[in-house]
Amino acid sequence: MSNFLIAGNWKMNCGPSEAKQLSDDLANRWPSGSFQCEVVVSPPSISIPSAVESLEDTDIKVSAQNTHTEDSGAYTGDISTPMIKDAGCTHVIVGHSERREYYGEDNDLVAEKARKVILDDLTAIVCVGEKLDQRKKGEQEKIVMDQLDAVLNKITIDQAKSLVIAYEPVWAIGTGETASPEQAQEMHLFIRNFLKERWNEQRSSEIKILYGGSMKPANAEELLSQNDVDGGLIGGASLKEESFSGIIEIAEKLS
């Protein structure tokens, strides 16, 4: 299989000085050429320049956590893909459940954002996932399918080379509760098959499907060992060099 993608989502943590410290720690631990997998960190936008500078001589890439659909204009508080690129990022997280929940981002807006990210030659990490009540009602596949369908309708099979999907069951984010490896594999396979039906076997196998939801060194091995789990989107455990590196080490071991 292709290399794992290990992505850290720092959320609204780490201002510029803390981001510099954490990035310096990661740069010391992982000098250029020291891992096979792909590693990305996603600081808050104000801290992107310090992370980019500290990680300059490493293979660790930097992502934004969100973007607007326009290039510029009267959108107070927002940032755009040309700005994100100019700052040295390669990836953008789109449609995180916290954006969907607290900022009312719906499937159409998430899809527009993903399209814009990809059109501007960045990689979109698109988050999908059901809430607890939806899983209890057995609706998880329908929810994820609708979230995914909106995005796939906006991009071509060729553009899908710049698409990463993160399956993040909302009930497992920041709760300490993790989907079981079987639950994760079941949904990842569902997503893989959905991609295959839409496009083809080759493209569906190339698109990385990350698991997100309380991943940490203690559970990363069993999750990353699942056939269709191609990496992780990690919140809490990405805020400490030790725990984030612990997950990278496991991905390296399994590669």
Residues that are catalytic: 96, 168
Under rule CB under 6 A, residue 9 binds ligand PEP: yes
CB of 243 to ligand PEP, least distance (A): 10
CB of 196 to ligand PEP, least distance (A): 25
Nearest CA-CA partner of 3 in 210, 241, 185: 210
Nearest CA-CA partner of 233 in 2, 1, 11, 52: 11
Site string for ligand PEP, 28-67 (x = CB under 6 A): ----------------------------------------
User: The tokens 């059901």 sit on which residue?
Assistant: 130
Binding test (CB under 6 A) with ligand PEP, winner from 121, 174, 201, 227: 174
- Are the C-beta atoms of 160 and 199 separated by less than 8 Å? yes
**Positions in 90-129 near ligand PEP (CB under 6 A):** none
Tokens standing for residue 58: 């490493």
Under rule CB under 6 A, residue 213 binds ligand PEP: yes
Q: Which residue minimizes CB distance to ligand PEP?
A: 235
d(CA 150, CA 161): 17
Q: CB nearer to ligand PEP: give 44 or 212.
A: 212
- Are the C-beta atoms of 94 and 66 separated by less than 8 Å? yes
CB of 174 to ligand PEP, least distance (A): 4
Under rule CB under 6 A, residue 235 binds ligand PEP: yes
Under rule CB under 6 A, residue 168 binds ligand PEP: yes
Binding test (CB under 6 A) with ligand PEP, winner from 55, 179, 234, 247: 234
CA trace torsion 93, 98, 103, 104 (10° rounding)? 100
- Are the C-beta atoms of 99 and 143 separated by less than 8 Å? no
d(CA 133, CA 166): 20
Under rule CB under 6 A, residue 169 binds ligand PEP: no
Under rule CB under 6 A, residue 214 binds ligand PEP: yes
Q: What share of the chain is helix, strand, coil (3-state, %, to 5)?
A: 50, 15, 35
Contact set with ligand PEP (CB under 6 A): 9, 11, 168, 173-174, 212-215, 233-237
